[in-house]
Structure 1
């Protein structure tokens, strides 16, 4: 609604412009027709030129196509009026008007099809299109038809009438048509080439020359006019050519009609004289206008060349400024490696002036061992097959010597430069950067990393030693506490004290195990041992181990979904048990009332076991959930916290789950409990070679009367082993270190040897190897590793089994019984 007045105003303006143009065309067409008929008639001369058709064609070409109907209507009105004034009959008048308008329309349509909506006679292509299509083709076709019809209606010589008529139309098209098209665009041409003194003078000379030639009837000097027209076209280009052509035609026709000029030297009659004049003017116009168009194009090309050269100079100046201001070295070399350009940054980076490094001198400052790397990168691009895409430029680092002798590190990206026309390689362009500081930092980082790795190794060794040193006394503490608890005459108070000792020892052992397990996870020293496991039995075992803690707090501890999972899954039971103990133990620790539920589920299609532990405790805040699996992280980390622990349990659980290829997470809302879950890949069924699991709960015992040598530097551990084994009828001998163990094994036969791994003078592995190699009476006896270290990695092949510290009766007896039941093959 708001835009309607504007739209209406524009529409009215456009309509007014169209009506004005149509009226102008009507008046102009009629006026030119009147001049072309009446002036020659007044001098009893034939019409030498017909300007109206050229006028109408120029108006059409200079107007939008949508205005053509209005312009054609205006031209028809003017033509009918002019014909009636000339005395033509209505029939002849209508026929001639129709043919004249058709000629102008044909000329304009043909030219516009070639040039488009905008015509510019300053372009040789447009000029040629106008001359050929508008100046010759349309007059020949339409003028020939009009003259033929005119002759048939009024009589006369057909050839003479057709030739004169067509030449009249050609001369009109080539004289007034280009001039008007140029005049309509005079502002454009004047902006490009303003009127100059030389241009005006050349037009004046052309007019004077034409007047001089046509003012006399003595000499045939027509040949003097075209050079003057060419001079005007050369000096003032298109506008000068149009003006000179129009003025020459006007002067020549006026003087010729008035009986003067060299045309009258021709004695063949007025028809022939008119034809010669027409040919002279047509040829002169046809020569001057194309020359003006080519001159304009030549000037534009020269101006473009000058501008391109100036732009190239400005671009070179900009790039030179960039190159000279750049902190990195910008260099170019030929294909042989000789430097042809080096930017001034070489002064700051290398200490050399750029001129000092041109030629082959740059290569000489490079370290010899690094030149091949640069050549390899260049050759990979230079000698790439034509049908293969060249590899991208590769960054290369190399060393060079400054002028002061100091070695520095440089980084460059040599890129093959090619000829833009032929594509042939011409040289190498490079940007060279000083990376000495970065390389120094990298070297420092490598040294720091090596130092850190060494420190990690030392830490691992320290932890291994600490494991041995801490677990060795714990073995005696827990073992003797268990033996003491079985004494029948122990008082209630003494039994309570023993239980406290056992609980404290196990708590300390759990803390040590957490720290050592986390250390082994960080070092990647934990390996998995997957085997068929009854998942329901594993869950029951975990809940049974934590049942007493839950009962002490009045919590319900139950399992859900055991029947959903397959009865047998292949997984590492030790690691899964450790994760379950951590999750269920944490739930029991932090839950004061309610229940702890352990739920199992199995995705048969994905082959993944999913376990979740849900409690009714206080829950975990969203902020704490992001930290809960971090090492040493505890939600109640204050000095007065209620719950103990190292804060490693959940971190170890996450590490173990990820080691098994699974995921672990927590879902909780504060005040509504928490749900910890993990899922791991677990295949179903047993291996074909898997042994059937024993269904008995009896502890395997070594054969009574067996002789066992215990090699351990800790007297408490030796006494503990002696107490356990002698209780089942095994004879025990002792050695305090590896040297004594080797001597004892070489002096007497033993059915089995329990060997500690860490001992003074000679460690357990070396002692076992010596026992095997010395071929003594116990050389083929089973040797069992007896150390805390057996938890951390693979067992040395020299051993036939292992039992970890702290010692448990079940582990010791079962390991010893298995070793004694398996015969060792004879050595070669």
Structure 2
């Protein structure tokens, strides 16, 4: 049982119509053209049933000429043939197939039948009379329902068929062009080419072909305008006469759309390049001054004459600078994502070590708030994997950091397990899914806010109350997880907590050597029995040169400066430094050109060149290394990173400061009862200052706290230093 309107239902209906007209013992070649069975199989001796009939393509065109030329006497009913052709055209909707060869052949069939009825002398007089009145009109109607131009010409290129579609496209009426040369419809420059093509095609054995595969086909309208076209052409031999039929499709709209698409693509590329240029410039302009701020605060910490108050102030400067750097990094990272400039950098790394390092780094923050931070790693978790370690670290830091920030009591738990290893070819590394889950006992997220959770620059109600962050951490994490072949989801119950879950597609990695851990002690000098290391600082900004000189020279390094690449080359020739710290963006001559010049000469090949750059673009790292730099350090940098790189490339050994025993200091917990000693007006002002994250105003208010309540003052100062305005808001809530 078939449903009305289905393809099978339409085929069944058509089959029944044929069965009712079996009074005709033979089928014409014109009908045979439209079916997938050979013409001879349709004759009664072979017992073919109409239910076996299906549309025929190329072979049918050849059979039509054969049947029309030799079997005209058994062409039982031209009317039936025309009706059958009409039904196939309508049912199969073949006339909508753009530029398809099958459409061209159907047009050819109709034209061949029409011409055959007019010219074939094998028809008997009664048959001619029967078909002359009905079949010819029906076939003309079939041609006219086609939206595309169908044009037939004889061997001398005279037009003998011009349908309604052709009239619409070319602007001529049929009686204006019938009997005229096809040259009338061609641009002058294309006439000779077209004639050569038709002559070559006519001499070939091909029955049909597409035109325009080597060069574009153009038509010319009555008003003289030209238009691009898709065209297919076929030929039929009718006795001594050859007939060519073409079907065209005006492709002006498609060409216009393609042009507009290409222009839009080029405009988007220009916009992306502009975005990349903007990112590079903004990264340089923001990171460069931060490099000086954070760098000099590290240098000042080295002064043994600093008082505890001065050290505390430097700590505040340093924390504020690092917080600003985090915000800048988030904004630049989101801009890179939007500009499509984020790529994966897969390496082999130790997953166990990564997880342990993160927990150690974040544990102090959790304990300060009285929270328990744990990591449960399932036994099936592989130790060594190949993935983008940097992006995985950033995702985990974002999710764990948010959990610590918004959870006031309870625990945060990180759970990791692996899925089954997926079968791979013998030459490929095994793949598997890693599953991560971060669960907290925080305030939870309202269901109405979850849909917007991963949208850039949006925050939940809890996030807005905290007056912290940019609303970019989760969107960046979500994009990174997607980029690594996974997905990030969230489940939350208001008042109970939130669980973020994500998975990644990774491959099993090879065992790797652990990277050297950051120096736990401060460097205070160079160990004895070492060469006198010559270090060249190449930097256009005076403050950054001074920072590096003041960092390295007191330790015992020999240091010289150069303000651009040209001066660096001169110093390199005269002084032969062991290592060059090279800024990449400088006037006169940049670091790229200077590095290429130095590394191109034998004297310079032994010199280690490490790039110092404020760029945020990952692809710039590859460009810098390709220039000849041995390594790459981003601004702003930690002093330990500078020392570690010189140990890695020169083998430098250091003398370290002896660690001072530290008495444990419990975290200062501010309570509402402690704040109750302050006036109501003071508490209201503190609440308003915390709402606006005005740290300067809060510090002024803290100075008004009586000396006998110094613990309260120290606790509030600690909250401000850690940007924990949410805690202050909670404590001062009216």
**TM-score (normalised: structure 2):** 0.60
Name the residue aligned to 1:789: 615
Q: Distance in 1 between matches of 2:616 and 2:173?
A: 68
Alpha-carbon distance change, 673 to 414 in structure 1, aligned in 2, over 3 angstroms:
farther
Q: Secondary structure of 1:361's match? A: helix
Please tell me whether the aligned partners of residues 542 and 581 of structure 1 are also in contact (alpha carbons under 8 angstroms). Answer: yes
Unaligned runs of 5+ in 1: 1-122, 126-300, 823-828
Residue 361 of structure 1 pairs with residue 183 of structure 2: yes
Once residues 404 and 751 of structure 1 are traced to their aligned partners in structure 2, the CA distance between those partners, rounded to angstroms, is: 78
Q: Is the 8 A contact 1:329 1:346 kept in 2?
A: yes
- Relative distance call for 1:372 and 1:805 in structure 2 (3 A) is farther
**1:509 to partner: Cα distance:** 1.4
SS in 1 for 2:454: coil
Q: Which of 212, 228, 239 matches 1:409?
A: 228
347 and 320 in structure 1: CA distance in 2 versus 1, 3 angstrom threshold: closer
Out of 444, 449, 470, the residue aligned to residue 619 of structure 1 is 444
1:344-383 equivalences under 5 Å are 344=164, 346=166, 349-354=169-174, 355-356=176-177, 358-362=180-184, 364-365=186-187, 368=190
Please state if 1:579 is matched with 2:414: no
Q: How far 1:660 moved relative to its partner?
A: 2.8
- 2:536 corresponds in structure 1 to 709
RMSD: 4.3
SS at match of 2:434: strand
User: What is the distance in 2 between the residues matched to 1:809 and 1:369?
Assistant: 77
1:621, distance to aligned residue in structure 2 (A)? 4.8
Q: Alpha-carbon deviation of 1:522?
A: 4.7
Offset at residue 764 of structure 1 (A)? 0.3
Once residues 584 and 370 of structure 1 are traced to their aligned partners in structure 2, the CA distance between those partners, rounded to angstroms, is 75
- The answer to whether structure 1 residue 816 and structure 2 residue 642 are counterparts is no
CA distance in 1, matches of 2:24, 2:279: 94
Corresponding residue SS for 1:796: helix
Q: Secondary structure at the match of 1:789?
A: coil
Q: Secondary structure at the match of 1:806?
A: coil
1:369: Cα distance to partner?
11
Asked if the contact 2:297–2:314 (Cα under 8 Å) also holds between the matched residues in 1, the reply is: yes
Structure 1 stretch displaced more, 777-786 or 728-737: 777-786
Matched, 1:479 2:295: yes
CA contact (8 A) 1:366 1:400 kept: no
Structure 2 Cα separation of the partners of residues 726 and 675 of structure 1: 50
Equivalents in 2 of 1:370, 1:628: separation in Å? 66
What whole-Å deviation, never above 9, does each CA across 1:527-552 have from its counterpart, x for those lacking one?
54444433222112223333344334
Q: Equivalent residues in 2 for 1:206-605 (5 A)? A: 311-312=134-135, 315-316=138-139, 318-319=141-142, 322=145, 328-333=148-153, 339-344=159-164, 346=166, 349-354=169-174, 355-356=176-177, 358-362=180-184, 364-365=186-187, 368=190, 398-410=217-229, 412-414=230-232, 416=234, 427-433=244-250, 435-522=251-338, 525-561=341-377, 563-605=379-421
Partner secondary structure for residue 418 of structure 2? strand
- Partners of 1:374 and 1:679 lie apart in 2 by 63
2:440 is the counterpart of 1:610: no
SS of 2:637's equivalent? coil
* TM score, norm. by length of structure 1: 0.54
Structure 1 distance, partners of 2:393, 2:127, is: 85
SS at 2:632 equivalent: strand
Q: 1:370 Cα deviation (Å)? A: 13
Structure 1 residue 312, shift from structure 2 partner: 2.5
TM superposition shift of 1:415: 6.0
- Structure 2 CA distance, aligned partners of 1:721 and 1:541? 29
Deviation at 1:599, TM superposition (A): 0.7
Determine if contact 1:536/1:562 at 8 Å carries over to the other structure: no
Distance across 1 between alignment mates of 2:406 and 2:153:
74
Once residues 599 and 338 of structure 2 are traced to their aligned partners in structure 1, the CA distance between those partners, rounded to angstroms, is: 35
**Partners of 1:546 and 1:373 in 2: CA distance:** 81
Q: Which residue of 2 aligns with 1:59?
A: none
Q: Deviation of residue 600 (structure 1)? A: 0.6
**Relative CO higher for 1 or 2, CA cutoff 8 Å, sep ≥ 6?**
2
* 1:457 CA displacement: 0.5
Of 630, 633, 651, 2:475 maps to 651
**Shift, 1:712, TM fit:** 0.5
Determine the structure 2 residue equivalent to 1:79: none
Higher helix share: 1
SS at match of 1:619: coil
Provide closer, same or farther for how the CA distance between residues 398 and 304 of structure 1 changes in structure 2, counting only shifts above 3 A.
closer
Give the C-alpha shift of residue 341 in structure 1.
2.1
Shift of 1:799: 0.9
Q: Is the 8 A contact 1:713 1:736 kept in 2?
A: yes
Distance, in Å, in 1 between the alignment partners of 2:225 and 2:156 is 27
Match of 1:155 in 2: none
| CA-CA distance at 1:814 after TM superposition | 1.5
Structure showing greater radius of gyration is 1
Structure 1, residues 55-95: CA drift from partner, whole Å, max 9, x if none? xxxxxxxxxxxxxxxxxxxxxxxxxxxxxxxxxxxxxxxxx
1:631 aligns with 2:479: no
Alignment pair present for 1:684 and 2:515: no
Aligned to 2:636: 806
| SS of 2:544 mapped into structure 1 | helix
Q: 1:520 to 1:600 in 2, by over 3 A?
A: same
- The verdict on how the C-alpha distance between 1:609 and 1:383 changes in structure 2, with shifts beyond 3 A counting, is farther
Query: Is the Cα contact below 8 Å between 1:365 and 1:402 reproduced in 2?
Result: no
| Equivalent residue number for residue 606 of structure 2 | 780
**Take 1:505 and 1:764, find their aligned partners in 2: how far apart are those partners?**
27
1:731 aligns with 2:558: yes
CA contact (8 A) 2:519 2:640 kept: no
Partner Cα separation in structure 2 for residue 594 and residue 494 of structure 1: 35
1:674, distance to aligned residue in structure 2 (A): 2.6
Larger displacement relative to structure 2 (572-581 or 697-706): 697-706
Aligned length: 508
**Cα offsets for 1:137-172 (capped at 9, x unmatched):** xxxxxxxxxxxxxxxxxxxxxxxxxxxxxxxxxxxx
Q: CA deviation at 1:627?
A: 3.7
